[in-house]
Amino acid sequence: MSRPVTDRCPGLVRPYQSADGALVRIRIPGGRITAVALAGLSALSEQYGDGLLQITSRANLQLRGITLADGAVDPGLAAGIEDLGLNPAPDHELVRNIAASPLSGLAGGVRDIRPLVSALDAGLIARPALAELPGRFLFAIDDGRGDQVGFDLGLIADGTGVRALVGDFIGEQYDDEGGVRRLLELAEEFVARRGEAWRVRELPEQGAELGEPLQPRAHPAPEPLTVGVHGTALVVMPRLGRLTPAQIAVLTGDQVTGVSTTARSLALPHCSTTDEGPPAAGGDFDGRSSLALLAAQSPDGGRSSGVVGGRAGRGTSPVVETTYAGREDLVPGVSTTARSLALPHCSTTDEGPPAAGGRAGRGTSPVVETTSAGRNARSTTEDGGEVVVTVGRQVVVTDPGPEAARALAAAGLESDPASPWTRITACTGAPGCANGQFETYPRAQQLAEQVGSGEYADGLPIHIAACDRLCGVPRGRHHLVTTGS
């Protein structure tokens, strides 16, 4: 083996430059993310990237189309991600790769292993030596159903305890605390012995040299997770794993004080525009999505007079609307971070903004406090709830509201197992990836019409790869499509 000791896995501190701008990957241990953090990350993607969030094959989230300065992301983006609690340990950012059974505690499994995910993440961050793990290294915690594959070190629930997993082998039984501790010790031993290896299976003895007593493990291929209702959860799937701002707004149910859902506008107390003025409604702000100030639609269906700072029957506040330039398939909606909204070209009046709204490390834009309206027709999670992203690029809504299924379907999130889109995954493809030989989304649209007939009548997953690197190829049997037509 001859290759660099350091891999090129991207992160906030090490963005990867692609054809459509830089890519930043945010680690989401166990795939679990709060509704507030997901809404906030979506807002940051709109402000600094291409507006989308991509779910990866390791149940992490990616932002694309980011502009770098001297090889680094904008300080406002870094601060925003840290404010959301998504980068609690920058030194360990690239190694917090922890997969877990996505339905644990919601449906099936031996028992709820979610506390083990949190304990493993905390222990990983607490050990300085583990910051040297390769970015490809993967931990996993299985709740006993056997749905975790392709990891390096893991734990599987076994009655009241856990058993250690090392690559393709199974080790000793431990209580929960002892199992987490043992996993971290094995990871430190890997760091000490790895040489140029990135994965446990690349070691000369495939993990036996780490010191855990091991036995071969019989492990049949797990059944893929399907969309639909599972216990108290609802599993949905965005097309090709790409979440739009409108879909995230429905998933999180975040509401902003003063929002008109018909005009998609926001009245801003104690805020006025600067002399520079904002971009026109629907305009492009620094090549990305814009926050355009305009008069909101009046109750009688007409337009109020004035542009910036128009009253529109909303007292003394100007009104803001979010847009996404150049993408007709993305529905405009209000962008929020951790219950806040950064406003370019806007400054506070003498009265000042709410106390919670300072600069928050986001440049010169004031931040306006927002609220969540909780569960309603647009809400699919309780305020303060969480969702889970999966290795199959799905989203598990852990506590769906009564109108969740209908709202999610209207937003384009697939919840019908019969939908052809639940079988199709793809790499980024052209033009976003310099190696891509063709665009993958149009190819996926073609394939969606062919699912269920001919060579695609067998029910197997279909993956589209636009170059010979075959990024994102699923494990197990599948159809591989490598041509654009």
**Tens digits of residue pLDDT in 446-473:** 999 999 898 999 989 999 999 998 988 8
Domain map (residue ranges) of the chain: 19-83+227-255+373-415, 104-224, 257-371, 420-481
- What pLDDT was estimated at residue 389? 98
For residue 339, is pLDDT > 60? Answer: no
Look at 295 and 483; give whichever has higher pLDDT: 483
**Spatial strand order in the sheet of 21-26:** 16-18, 21-26, 61-66, 53-55, 242-243
Q: How confident is the model at residue 1 (pLDDT cuts 50, 70, 90)?
A: low
241: its two tokens: 């794993």
Q: How confident is the model at residue 254 (pLDDT cuts 50, 70, 90)?
A: low
Distance CA 271, CA 288 (A): 23
Which one, of 34, 57, 37, lies nearest residue 45 by Cα? 37
**In degrees rounded to 5, what are phi and psi of residue 16?**
-110, 125
Question: 55-64, 118-127, 280-289 — which is least confidently predicted?
Answer: 280-289
Q: Which of 2.60.40, 3.30.350, 3.30.413, 3.30.450 is the CATH number of 104-224? A: 3.30.413
For the segment 159-214, what is each residue's pLDDT rounded down to a tens digit?
Answer: 889 999 999 999 999 999 999 999 999 999 999 999 999 999 999 999 999 999 99
For residue 109, list its beta bridge partners.
none
Torsion region of 300: left, alpha or beta (phi above 0 gives left; psi -120 to 50 gives alpha):
alpha
For residue 99, list its beta bridge partners.
140
Thinking of the domain 420-481, which architecture would CATH place it in?
2-Layer Sandwich (3.30)
Which one, of 423, 417, 431, lies nearest residue 449 by Cα? 423
- What pLDDT was estimated at residue 316? 32
Look at 158 and 381; give whichever has higher pLDDT: 158
- Burial call 203-226: b when 16+ CB within 10 Å, e when fewer: beebbeebebebeeeeeeeeebbe
- What pLDDT was estimated at residue 217? 92
For residue 131, is pLDDT > 60? Answer: yes
Residues contacting 342, CB < 8 A, separation 6+: 43, 47, 76, 291, 360, 362, 363, 365, 366, 367
Report the percentage of the chain scoring pLDDT > 70.
72
Look at 104 and 256; give whichever has higher pLDDT: 104
Domain pair 104-224 / 420-481, same fold? yes
Residues contacting 205, CB < 8 A, separation 6+: none
Round the average pLDDT of the chain to a whole number and report it.
Answer: 77
Rounded mean pLDDT, 465-483:
89
Q: How are beta strands 319-322 and 340-342 bridged, if at all? A: unpaired
Neighbours of 283 (CB within 10 A): 11
For residue 354, is pLDDT > 60? Answer: no
Q: What is the reported pTM?
A: 0.75
Q: Inter-axis angle of helices 176-193 and 114-126, to 10 degrees?
A: 40
Q: What is the CATH class of 19-83+227-255+373-415?
A: alpha beta
Q: How are beta strands 169-174 and 215-216 bridged, if at all? A: antiparallel
Report the percentage of the chain scoring pLDDT > 90.
59
Three-class secondary structure of residue 18 per DSSP = strand
